[in-house]
Structure 1
Amino acid sequence: MAYPTRPQEPTVWQKSKMGAMMGCGVGLTIGFIFGSYSIMRGGAGPRGFVATLSQYMLSSAATFSFFLAIGSVIRSDSVLPPHMEAARLQLLSPAIRSRADGAALIKARWEAEKRQH
């Protein structure tokens, strides 16, 4: 009998690369917007339009990609596999659960008490 396999979760390195690529795209866009505005407001300077705009875009892309890569790794860093994490969340005290989970738990307890009486 063949057991169904779960899709594999991306590795930490893959998550870091994905965060860096997203940050690079966002940084290039933000660098283009703010660089263009700065050039229109103050002029291109001695290096010229293209060199000044590319400096804005590349520095912004490097900054955004660095922080998004780190953020994606920190956010997805988990010691437990997903099925164990789900079990851990079920065993948390009711004070930590969400309002909907607490309401469902109370409703289930009331139903259990009704069946006992």
Structure 2
Amino acid sequence: MGAMMGGGVGLTIGFIFGSWSIIRHGAGPRGFMATLSQYMLSSAATFSFFLAIGSVIRSDSQTMIPPHLQALQLQLASADPVLRSKFQGAQLMRARWEQERKRQQPSSN
């Protein structure tokens, strides 16, 4: 994906700067199309090379899942539902407090 984006950006920048150079200095002995295509292809190759390297570095993980889908996967995989009513939350809190009290009480043997 980075190489494709870099190629598109490079072609555009090569067209702009190549056209400007041809307007200012002339096409040269090779002609207009050969000079413009050289600017465009060299710029596209340079941009696509560096953007491809950047995209490989950024996506250097085991799973190629986008971050928003990873968050959704974690949310759906959790045992506890994320949204609860106030009553359910209060019941859960009371149950946890009761467990904590039982754990803190010394056992009498």
Which sections of structure 2, spanning at least 5 residues, go unmatched? Answer: 75-96, 98-109
Deviations 1:30-66 (A, max 9, x none): 0000000000010000000000000000000001111
- Pairing 1:42–2:21 present: no
Q: Distance in 2 between matches of 1:41 and 1:75?
A: 40
Q: CA RMSD in A?
A: 2.4
Offset of 1:80 from its aligned partner? 6.5
Structure 2 equivalent of residue 23 of structure 1: 6
Q: Percent of pairs identical after alignment?
A: 82
Q: What letter corresponds to residue 38 of structure 1 in structure 2?
A: S
Q: TM-score, normalised by structure 1?
A: 0.53
- CA 1:21–1:78 in 2, change beyond 3 Å: closer, same or farther? same
Cα separation, 2, equivalents of 1:33 and 1:70: 24
Amino acid at match of 2:31: G
Following TM superposition, by how much is the alpha carbon of 1:24 offset from its aligned partner in structure 2, in angstroms?
0.5
| Number of residue pairs matched by the alignment | 71
Measure how far apart 1:81 and its partner are.
Answer: 7.5
The residue type paired with residue 22 of structure 1 is M
Higher gyration radius (CA): 2
State how far apart, in whole Å, the 2-side matches of 1:71 and 1:41 are. 34
For structure 1, the 5+ residue unaligned runs are 1-17, 88-115
